[in-house]
Amino acid sequence: MVDDYELLPHEELENLRKEIERLKKSPFPNSKQNKTLLESMDALSTSINKLIKIFEGAQEDLIKEYSESSPTKILKQISEQNAKIAEGIVALADMVKKGSPKTPGVAPPKAAVPPSFTTPTSTAPPTKPGPKGDLGMPDLDSHDLDLKKKKRKGLFSAFKK
């Protein structure tokens, strides 16, 4: 049992302890990685401290605001604001469904055609405008169409032989 481990001199143990402490402080001694790592850790620490200060300020503002007025009053104001927003959204949805609203006295903007400073290359006469009015589909006689519905037997009847 005495032969299971080796005894180290006290001086060597002290050297190992110092080296461990040095590595804890700086894992990459005298290297560029160590410098960039330490700089980024410092920047991260600074950013976190700023963020903590922002949250502390926001917390103080909230505490002050709640102490000055009751939470029910604030919730009522928020509810009223939400109702106004909802009315606006519904109004916009109605306007989109109906198309653009036609307000009296306001004409829609006309597209301005810029003047042409070039000479026309074509000498063809201008064409006449097409017919006006409804140009929808022509009326069809219903007797020309085969409108008989096929009788369906069931869901799986097509697979039976």
Residue 46 belongs to what H/E stretch? helix 32-68
Residue written as tokens 């007797």? 143
Look at the chain and count its residues: 161
Provide the pLDDT for residue 12: 86
Show me where the domains of the chain are located: 29-68, 70-100
Provide the pLDDT for residue 68: 81
- Tokens for 143? 């007797």
**Residue 37 burial by Cβ neighbours in a 10 Å radius (0-12, 13-18, 19+):** middle
Give this prediction's pTM: 0.31
Regions in the chain scoring below 70 on pLDDT: 1-6, 27-29, 100-161
- Tokens for 124? 């063809």
Say what angle helices 32-68 and 71-98 make with each other, to 10 degrees. 100
The predicted-structure confidence for 73-114, as pLDDT tens digits, reads as follows 888 999 999 999 999 999 999 999 887 555 555 565 666 666
- Residue 26: count of CB within 10 angstroms of its CB: 13
Residues contacting residue 28 through CB under 8 Å, at least 6 positions apart: 34, 37
Distance CA 83, CA 77 (A): 10
